[in-house]
Structure 1
């Protein structure tokens, strides 16, 4: 079974960053984070579980390709399937207050969507995030993010994408992808990708 987390674990590039993103008091101002990616993923997990959705997946490692269709049985299954996107919540750590530059209401030249950008020039795991939305931020249509991990064994850069479509006036995840490469120190770079297309009942 191809699970994004399991797939990346095989090559030593998926680490779960555990921390609390609870709001903290910053000089009397309640800090709510840069973007509620945690809540968004959790709401998608609930919807996809209730909808008995499935996903068609294609995973590639170098020249090797594997295809599979899976239907997670419960919310735990969907959470495991999408947990790679939970890594993006690191940008909401209280210690990162002021570390990112945020611009909102930008115009997308290729569509009628607006864009919110969250970018840092610091050596943080989440280097950038773009949220494309229609009308208001709650109507998200696409999320793009760059995640970089460096340790004593390897360096890894991942480009994460989530696509949404409108279902009953709510954004529902329609596809997701992880693309990137891992370079072992004193070794070659391994290129990988995982793409999932979600099918609703």
Structure 2
């Protein structure tokens, strides 16, 4: 199990380093664009930190599984947990203006929710995003997105989900998941999944 955790953390570290490098290069180059993902994640980090929330994580790497509960003591802990969703902000880069087709108010045939879809047929990191909401766009219930990444270290494809509950007329993160595969160059593809269940105090 220790070997599995080390391998998993190695992949995570490589991904975080790559994201940090990219974030530093792109800082200040984003606006609200198609959807304010950055602002949404920042608001969730702030709320969950103040609420002293915890998260139970179910991680699977290949055939190995691990479950643990984390109690982040400050915002840094929640940044570590949720920063991967900030990667979706790449769709808001000015260079991507007009690259996505947007449709809003679409009915969800499985619920009473409406859907806003943001989709592209171009080879961009964010291939698609769906925002599920009730009544008004501010009443977010779920976000789904497909994110692909290729750099000098690895290539990966991830499907990201964030689920929200209503608390005092504000959306609060209740669970999230990241599933996909990652291939180190000159290495094998590793299939992984992470699911987090958020508990408020």
Q: TM-score, normalised by structure 1?
A: 0.88
- Equivalent residue runs for 1:63-102 within 5 Å: 63-102=63-102
The Cα of 1:153 is off from its aligned counterpart by: 4.4
Q: How many corresponding residue pairs?
A: 189
Q: Indicate which of 3, 9, 12 corresponds to 1:9.
A: 12
Q: Which runs of 5+ in 2 are unaligned?
A: none
Closer/same/farther in 2, CA of residues 90 and 121 from structure 1, 3 Å limit: same
User: Can you give the 5+ residue segments of structure 1 that lack an aligned partner in the other structure?
Assistant: 24-31
Which structure has greater helix proportion?
Answer: 2
CA distance in 2: counterparts of 1:66 and 1:133, whole angstroms = 32
TM-score, structure 2 as length reference: 0.88
Partners in 2 of 1:21 and 1:115 — Cα distance? 27
The 1-side partners of 2:47 and 2:77 are apart by 13
Task: Write the deviation string for residues 132-174 of structure 1: whole angstroms up to 9, x where unpaired.
Answer: 0011111100000000012344321000000001111111000
Using the alignment, how far apart are the partners of 2:54 and 2:152 within structure 1? 37
The offset of 1:7, in angstroms, is 6.5
Matches within 5 A, 1:36-75: 36-75=36-75
Aligned to 1:28: none
Q: Residue in 2 aligned with 1:164?
A: 164
